[in-house]
């Protein structure tokens, strides 16, 4: 399985390390034509407004929508979750708008309010080590979206078919179980294509 990490901003190397630990071949994606050779794509954390601007500037919006339209899995972490959402609180326009959810930016407060926790996630045996840094929150999900985990009653991991989103950074720990979950999603999607 060849899985890309969108390399415009954010923890690209960390995601690549986690994907490789989970048995995939990881590729740093800097050009849209690289998408053609990939089975899945991770959109990392960073600053969602900046990532959105860079995606527009380099032609990634349409290219990634097309990629997703072929049933190829996308995994958005932290800012990547905001990029996937079809509604962002307080913002008129979404970025990719492919996942049926309403998200709130920086819902967990400022940088100094960052924290780590062990999070039970549906479909993964052991709790996932999750790092929350200025994390967004999934406020609402549509009918086709499966809530995989909550923290203090708030949705922090969700899946909609071939789309996976987490409010937190799983790549900043040595726990690659959520990446392994995504690699399995990619394998299933490739088998069904």
Q: How confident is the model at residue 108 (pLDDT cuts 50, 70, 90)?
A: low
Quote the number of domains for the chain: 1
Each residue's pLDDT tens digit, 57-73: 999 999 999 999 999 99
Asked about 126 being catalytic, the answer comes back as: no
User: With pLDDT > 70 as the criterion, what percentage of the chain qualifies?
Assistant: 96
| Nearest CA-CA partner of 171 in 75, 27, 106 | 75
Given the residues 15, 78, 95, 162, the one annotated as active site = 78
Q: What is the mean pLDDT of residues 113-119?
A: 87
Please state, in angstroms and rounded to a whole number, the distance separating the CA atoms of residues 130 and 82: 17
CATH number where 124 lies: 3.40.50.880
Contact yes or no for 25/3 (Cβ under 8 A): yes
Asked about 154 being catalytic, the answer comes back as: no
Each residue's pLDDT tens digit, 14-34: 999 999 999 999 999 999 999
Please state, in angstroms and rounded to a whole number, the distance separating the CA atoms of residues 100 and 155: 13
**51-55, 133-137, 160-164, 165-169 — which is least confidently predicted?**
133-137
Given the residues 15, 95, 162, 169, the one annotated as active site = 169
Asked about 179 being catalytic, the answer comes back as: no
Q: Give yes or no for residue 182 having a pLDDT over 90.
A: yes
Give the E-state strand segments of the chain in sequence order: 2-6, 25-29, 40-43, 74-77, 85-88, 99-104, 115-119, 128-132, 137-141, 146-151, 154-160, 163-166
Please state, in angstroms and rounded to a whole number, the distance separating the CA atoms of residues 165 and 42: 10
Domain span at residue 154 reads: 2-192
Please state, in angstroms and rounded to a whole number, the distance separating the CA atoms of residues 102 and 134: 17
Contact yes or no for 38/3 (Cβ under 8 A): yes
Please state, in angstroms and rounded to a whole number, the distance separating the CA atoms of residues 39 and 77: 18
Contact yes or no for 4/40 (Cβ under 8 A): yes
Q: How confident is the model at residue 109 (pLDDT cuts 50, 70, 90)?
A: low
Given the residues 14, 15, 162, 171, the one annotated as active site = 171
Q: How many CB atoms lie within 10 A of CB 92?
A: 6
pLDDT at 193: 78
């Amino acid at each position: 399985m060849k899985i890309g990490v969108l390399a415009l901003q954010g923890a690209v190397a960390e995601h690549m390390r986690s994907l490789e630990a989970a048995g995939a071949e990881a590729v740093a994606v800097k050009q849209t034509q690289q998408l053609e050779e990939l089975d899945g794509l991770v959109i990392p954390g960073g600053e969602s407004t900046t990532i959105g601007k860079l995606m527009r500037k380099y032609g990634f919006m349409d290219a990634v929508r097309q990629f997703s339209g072929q049933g190829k899995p996308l995994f958005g972490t932290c800012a990547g979750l905001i990029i996937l959402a079809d509604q962002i609180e307080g913002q008129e326009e979404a970025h990719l708008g492919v996942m049926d959810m309403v998200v709130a930016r920086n819902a967990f407060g400022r940088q100094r309010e960052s924290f780590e926790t062990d999070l039970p996630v549906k479909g993964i045996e052991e709790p996932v080590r999750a790092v929350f840094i200025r994390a967004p929150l999934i406020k609402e999900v549509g009918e086709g979206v499966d809530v995989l985990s909550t923290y203090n009653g708030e949705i922090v991991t969700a899946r909609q078919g071939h789309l996976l989103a987490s409010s937190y950074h799983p790549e900043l720990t040595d726990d690659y179980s959520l990446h392994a979950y995504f690699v399995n999603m990619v394998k299933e999607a490739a088998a069904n294509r």
